[in-house]
């Protein structure tokens, strides 16, 4: 396969090779000296060059998580692999290797430059994740079919492309085909694309391109529509009323009921039921909006309070900083030990009072927030309770309807049975339905079973809604409390840290004196 195989042993990317490269390519001079002292972590490295190393397999690069630029050119790599952890990679050079298939690039979403020059690629594929791609080179490969170009249309930022040296480059229409099909490209095969050429190419392939564009647009529209539907569903889910805006629940009820289809000609249930479902749906959305608004109010108030408190704190610190600076300046100027001592004493008093102020502020905020959170919790609980109550009432209505329906169904069934027995039935019953009308017990059982199944469905739905809304509330309040505790901890820590820092400063000044 490769001319080098017989002569030179393929190399493996190992710790030693990486270390050597990093050191060689790392900082120079003084920075290099310091780096050597400290050592360089692989995850700090931004650029790595592994060229002319006879590497056969890409491996052991997982620790270079911040790598931006990776050069693996002039090796004997056959497969793109082991790059999944390098998510920050922007620049990848794999030219002059033996790669046959494009693969393993799915995680490199930041990639802007990709070079696969002089490989054995016959097909452009598996690059959907590279949304940011700007520069790409497929020169000197085995691309035969111009159809490959259509794949590149999805990269909207593509500006520079190199495709020379492929079998299809011999084609007379090669240039114009590419120019026509990739309108965003500015440089093709190291040259600026001429504007007149672009027009010409565009005219040449007008029909096929218009068709392509049409297809793309349709696809896009479809995606948008699907997205919209999905969004709507998500919103409804948040309001716990998904699949209630229409006959879905009823259909589901009926669908899972083996007897229903047979009894389906029996009239009456659907309309009223669907209406009730819609009511639940509307109510649910309304309540959801109300809850959301309430939450917004609460969180905005919370943020306002925090911000106000924060501003006061910042001001206090700034005032202290000014004072500190002035005091330090004074101390630098005076040589009188007593004066210095007095000044330092004053300063440490100020630090103490700053600590008091900041902690006082924090205590005050905690009190304020606690009250507010309690109030919010109370309101929310009330709201949710009211919501559940109303929903339950609506579901009770559903059950009533189902009961009525059951009664009438029984009645009709018995009547029909009677008629059937007397052979007075005008219309022909379908065969599978006729099976049920054997005797009274069978038909009654069938209707009862269907009824029970319906009731179970309704109960399930109700339970589902109630549990979910309760869970939501519990989670949210827990989250609020947790956040508040975290905030308080971090603030206290921050203040303590700051005060410690100030005290250290004073101490160091004192010791200097």
Binding residues vs other proteins (CB under 8 A): 27, 29-31, 34-35, 37-38, 40, 44, 297-298, 300-302, 304-306, 310, 313-314, 317, 358, 364, 368-369, 371-372, 375-376, 487, 490-491, 493-495, 497-498, 501
CB of 113 to other proteins, least distance (A): 21
CB of 501 to other proteins, least distance (A): 5
User: Distance between alpha carbon 185 and the CA centroid of its chain, in Å?
Assistant: 30
CB of 509 to other proteins, least distance (A): 13
Residue 19 or 227: the one with the smaller Cβ distance to other proteins is: 19
Residue 368 or 397: the one with the smaller Cβ distance to other proteins is: 368
- At how many degrees (to 10) do helices 248-255 and 269-333 cross? 120
Sheet with 191-192, edge to edge strand ranges: 47-49, 69-71, 91-93, 113-115, 135-137, 160-162, 187-188, 191-192
11 beta partners: 55
By DSSP bridging, strand 91-93 and strand 160-162 are unpaired
Residue 79 or 324: the one with the smaller Cβ distance to other proteins is: 324
Residue 183 phi, psi (nearest 5): -65, -20
CB of 500 to other proteins, least distance (A): 10
Distance CA 378, CA 405 (A): 41
CB of 313 to other proteins, least distance (A): 4
CB of 411 to other proteins, least distance (A): 55
Residue 40 or 209: the one with the smaller Cβ distance to other proteins is: 40
Distance CA 127, CA 172 (A): 28
Residue 272 or 503: the one with the smaller Cβ distance to other proteins is: 503
Torsion over CA: 456, 459, 461, 464 (sign): negative
Distance CA 380, CA 372 (A): 12
CB of 46 to other proteins, least distance (A): 12
Residue 126 or 379: the one with the smaller Cβ distance to other proteins is: 379
- The strand ranges marked E within 177-223 are 187-188, 191-192
Evaluate whether 273 touches 250 at the Cβ level (below 8 Å). Answer: yes
Residue 31 or 386: the one with the smaller Cβ distance to other proteins is: 31
Distance from first CA to last CA of the chain, Å, rounded? 77
CB of 368 to other proteins, least distance (A): 4
| Whole-number Cα distances in Å, 177 to 106, 180, 200 | 28, 5, 10
CB of 41 to other proteins, least distance (A): 8
Residue 37 or 423: the one with the smaller Cβ distance to other proteins is: 37
The answer for residues whose C-beta is within 8 angstroms of residue 263's C-beta and 6 or more apart is 409, 413, 433, 446, 447, 450
Residue 7 or 37: the one with the smaller Cβ distance to other proteins is: 37
By DSSP bridging, strand 191-192 and strand 187-188 are antiparallel
| Whole-number Cα distances in Å, 71 to 6, 80, 118 | 25, 13, 14
CB of 269 to other proteins, least distance (A): 45
Residue 73 or 362: the one with the smaller Cβ distance to other proteins is: 362
Evaluate whether 136 touches 186 at the Cβ level (below 8 Å). Answer: no
| Whole-number Cα distances in Å, 411 to 268, 364, 404, 430, 452 | 13, 71, 11, 19, 17
């Amino acid at each position: 396969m490769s001319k080098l195989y017989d002569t030179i042993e393929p190399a493996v990317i190992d710790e030693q090779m990486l270390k050597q490269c990093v050191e060689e390519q790392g900082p120079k001079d003084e920075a290099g000296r310091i780096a050597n002292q400290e050592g360089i972590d692989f995850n700090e490295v931004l650029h790595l060059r592994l060229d002319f190393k006879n590497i056969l397999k890409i491996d052991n690069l997982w620790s270079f998580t911040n790598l931006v630029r990776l050069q693996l050119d002039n090796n004997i790599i056959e497969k793109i692999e082991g790059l999944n952890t390098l998510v920050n990679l922007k620049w990848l050079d794999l030219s002059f290797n033996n790669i046959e298939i494009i693969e393993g690039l799915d995680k490199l979403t930041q990639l802007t430059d990709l070079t696969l020059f002089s490989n054995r690629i016959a097909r452009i594929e598996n690059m959907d994740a590279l949304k940011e791609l700007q520069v790409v080179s497929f020169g000197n490969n085995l691309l035969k079919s111009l159809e490959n170009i259509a794949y590149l249309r999805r990269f909207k930022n593509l500006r520079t492309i190199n495709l020379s040296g492929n079998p299809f480059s011999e084609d007379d229409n090669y240039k114009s085909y590419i120019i026509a099909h990739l309108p965003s490209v500015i440089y093709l095969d190291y040259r600026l694309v001429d504007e007149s050429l672009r027009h010409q190419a565009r005219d040449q392939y007008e029909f096929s391109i218009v068709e392509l564009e049409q297809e793309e647009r349709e696809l896009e529209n479809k995606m948008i529509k699907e997205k919209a539907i999905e969004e709507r569903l998500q919103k409804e889910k948040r309001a716990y009323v998904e699949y209630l805006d229409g006959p879905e629940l009823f259909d589901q009820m009926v669908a899972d009921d083996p007897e229903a289809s047979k009894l389906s000609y029996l009239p009456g249930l659907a309309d009223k039921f669907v209406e009730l479902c819609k009511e639940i749906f509307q109510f649910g959305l309304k309540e959801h909006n109300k809850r959301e608004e309430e939450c917004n109010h609460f969180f905005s108030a919370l943020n306002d309070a925090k911000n106000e408190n924060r501003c006061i704190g910042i001001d206090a610190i700034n005032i202290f900083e000014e004072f500190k600076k002035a005091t330090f300046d004074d101390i630098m100027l005076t040589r009188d030990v007593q004066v210095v001592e007095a000044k330092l004493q004053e300063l440490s008093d100020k630090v103490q009072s700053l600590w008091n102020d900041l902690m006082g502020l924090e205590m005050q905020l905690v009190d304020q927030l606690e009250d507010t959170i309690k109030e919010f919790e109370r309101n929310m609980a009330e709201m949710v309770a009211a919501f559940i109550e109303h929903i339950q009432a609506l579901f009770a209505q559903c059950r009533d309807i189902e009961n009525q329906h059951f009664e009438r169904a029984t009645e009709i069934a018995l009547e029909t049975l009677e008629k059937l027995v007397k052979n007075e039935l005008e219309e022909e019953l379908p065969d599978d339905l006729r099976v049920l009308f054997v005797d009274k017990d069978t038909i009654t059982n069938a209707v009862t079973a269907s009824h029970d199944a319906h009731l179970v469905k309704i109960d399930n739905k109700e339970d589902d809604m109630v549990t979910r809304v309760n869970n939501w509330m519990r989670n949210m309040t827990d989250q609020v409390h947790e956040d508040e505790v975290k905030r308080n901890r971090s603030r206290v820590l921050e203040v303590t840290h700051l005060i410690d820092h100030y005290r250290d400063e004073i101490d160091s000044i004192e010791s200097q004196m």
